[in-house]
Amino acid sequence: MKEISFMLNSELRSVSVEPNEVLLDVLRDKLGVKSPKCGCERGDCGACTVLLDGKAVRSCLVLAVEAENHSIITVEGISVEKLSALQEAFIQFNSFQCGYCAPGIILAVTELLQAHPKPTLEQIKESIAGNLCRCTGYTPIFDAIMALTKEEGK
């Protein structure tokens, strides 16, 4: 067991972890942060996406020990005060159904919008191509992001 500390959703957290524990399990089972979901355990589905130093990564493939001295953001971390404009757009456009993939997709798009505030449809598709959604057919997700980024330009 190794004691590690890192910024989790803007709060300094400490936790003891074994080297073979992945970040996803530590977040969920030891730190009570449940929005990153387990879907495939091998990086194919994106449900476990978190932002590691601002970059969307698969928390099922990151060893928890690595998080030491880094910053992790999950959907809980962007929902404290109020929802982000992106989250509001997701609700408005019914961009989710069962909701299981939604936290991962929101984080992936959050990263995208930071780099490209006005993304093209191609960029949107590319940014979430690794986040599988079995329900929506993705179209309502594209619609929400396109509408949001168009509005911001006004």
The answer to whether residue 132 forms part of the interface with other proteins (CB under 8 A) is: yes
Q: Measured between alpha carbons, how far is 2 from 8 in angstroms, rounded to an integer? A: 17
CB 105, min distance to other proteins, A: 9
Residue 13 binds other proteins (CB under 8 A): no
Please give the size of the binding site for other proteins, defined by CB under 8 A. 72
Q: Is 32 left (phi over 0), alpha (psi -120 to 50) or beta?
A: left
Would you give the end-to-end CA distance of the chain in angstroms?
53
Q: From 128, 137, 140, select the one nearest 103 (Cα to Cα).
A: 128
Among 10, 16, 19, 114, binds other proteins (CB under 8 A): 19
x/- map, 101-120, other proteins, by CB under 8 A: xxx--x-x------------
Shortest Cβ distance from residue 40 to other proteins (Å)? 4
User: Among 20, 81, 153, 154, which residue interacts with other proteins (rule: CB under 8 A)?
Assistant: 20
**Binders of other proteins among 38-97, rule CB under 8 A?**
38-47, 49, 55-58, 60-63, 65-66, 74-76, 79, 83, 87, 90-92, 94, 96-97
Query: Which residues sit opposite 12 in a β-bridge?
Result: 7
Sheet holding 55-58, edge to edge: 11-17, 2-8, 71-73, 49-52, 55-58
